[in-house]
Amino acid sequence: MPSLSMYTGALSKCEEARTPLRYTQVVPPARPPYRLATLPTGARVVSTELADRPSVTMAIMFKVGSRYESDKEAGISHFLEHMFFKGSARYAGAKEIAEAIEGVGGVLNAGTDKELTMYWARVPKTKAKLAIDVLGDMLFQPLLDPAELEKERLVVLEELRMYQDSPQEYVHSLFEQISWPDHPLGRDVGGTEASVRGLTRDDLLRYLEEHYLLRNLVVTIAGPVTQDEAIGLIQPYLKSRGNGAAPPSFLPSVGNGLKPHVLLKAKKTEQAHVCLGVHAPSYMDRDRHVIDILNCVLGEGMSSRLFLEVREKLGLAYDVHSYVNKMYDTGVLGVYAGTEPRQAARAVGAIVGQLRRLCDEPVPTSELTKAKEFFKGRLLLQMESTNSVATWYGGQEALTGRIEGVDENMAEIDAVTADDVKRIARELFSQALQLAVIGPFRSEAPFLKQIA
């Protein structure tokens, strides 16, 4: 940038001549809002310095999840996540870990997915060192106490049962099961009662050594912390595992056949719960943004087609929506509805009608614009939180090895056309629909008729 002194002489001359000063100012390229560093150990640190925020979020992400598990060890990623909270070298048990963060008003949590496991803490900005101290000690010096393991096994089993007793949630697991039959992607992230009962401490230690490698690790920090400060905070805690072995791989995705299928779980419920859909583009696919806009048109929000048709016009459901889940080599577009059992088949037929409409008619310009603005607006609102900022940048680096900024993402959303949406709709719905149903039914026949 030129200094102000370069222009003072020229200004006085211009004032004398009564002519405006004209000059070209060279603007340097904008620096990305995040900083990325790869440490000598292979661990990566992604930091987003947000000087005006009162909080700091730190997340530690390992590229591992349920799709890396064998049938025998199903649920081990989730079980290990639980055990990290049960005590470490400096924090003797769950109480000490929780009190360390909650004692300053912070939040500590974790989540296991199919391809990523994340541990995070959000604390006041003055407590950043405390957050990484707790997370670092939990993850790199866990006790995995045998007595605590047996107690936590019971907790994990209760979590599985709780989920299975919630049909509006469990129907999504059944949908994944029928979408990827006999494949790790089709299994519940938590595993099964049988697999969880069979896991031993040695199994957890082996899995830890094989998967929780520094080359599989991304640490992401958002808040009033510089990149150098972030690296200085995390680096002392990083301990190598695996003796240099390469991270294990996962089974590639497979198709679910050429015929529509219905997976029915007969259960006495007041509502029928249905979830149907197809395989969709992955987060590595060139059409990943097209499917996002198609999803907004179809079933995101109260002005979407599904909401207006199935709820407002036909009165068939209170909750009806669509969603997209993306993995490395596949994805899924799903539609959920909760409805009166006698209306369930009709609701499925109405949903299928909206899917066909996307194939037959181009989305009008005004509706396409609305969908784009909906998506971009939701993204911008999410970025107000240090949690979302940390997971947005860190999650991309952990899963794809490439970070797409918010502006870049929104530009690609703006580039989606009505022809793109129609094209991808025809590709998607040329596949056989898969449908999971929970409710008081004796036969799949009425539902199969609607999706055939």
CA distance 438 to 15: 80
Active site residues: 81
Distances (CA, A) of 447 to 8, 192, 271, 333, 358: 79, 27, 15, 19, 21
Q: Which residues pair with 322 in a beta bridge?
A: 335
* Residue 223 CB contacts under 8 Å (≥ 6 apart), including other chains: 48, 49, 50, 53, 55, 56, 57, 125, 128, 386
**H/E segment holding residue 262:** strand 261-266
CA angle 381, 384, 385 (to 5 degrees): 120
* Residue 85 CB contacts under 8 Å (≥ 6 apart), including other chains: 94, 97, 98, 110, 138
Q: What are the backbone dihedrals phi and psi of residue 87, each rounded to the nearest 5 degrees, phi first? A: 140, 150
CA distance 218 to 198: 30
CA distance 354 to 171: 21
Class of residue 358 by CB neighbours under 10 A (exposed 0-12, middle 13-18, buried 19+)? buried
The CA dihedral of 339, 340, 341, 346, to the nearest 10 degrees, is -70
User: Which among 358, 361, 355, 363 has a CA at the least distance from the CA of 417?
Assistant: 363
In this structure, what token pair is assigned to residue 418?
A: 């009505």
Residues 448 and 348 sit within 8 Å (Cβ to Cβ): no
Q: How far apart are the first and last CA of the chain?
A: 65
Sign of CA dihedral 400, 189, 341, 265: positive
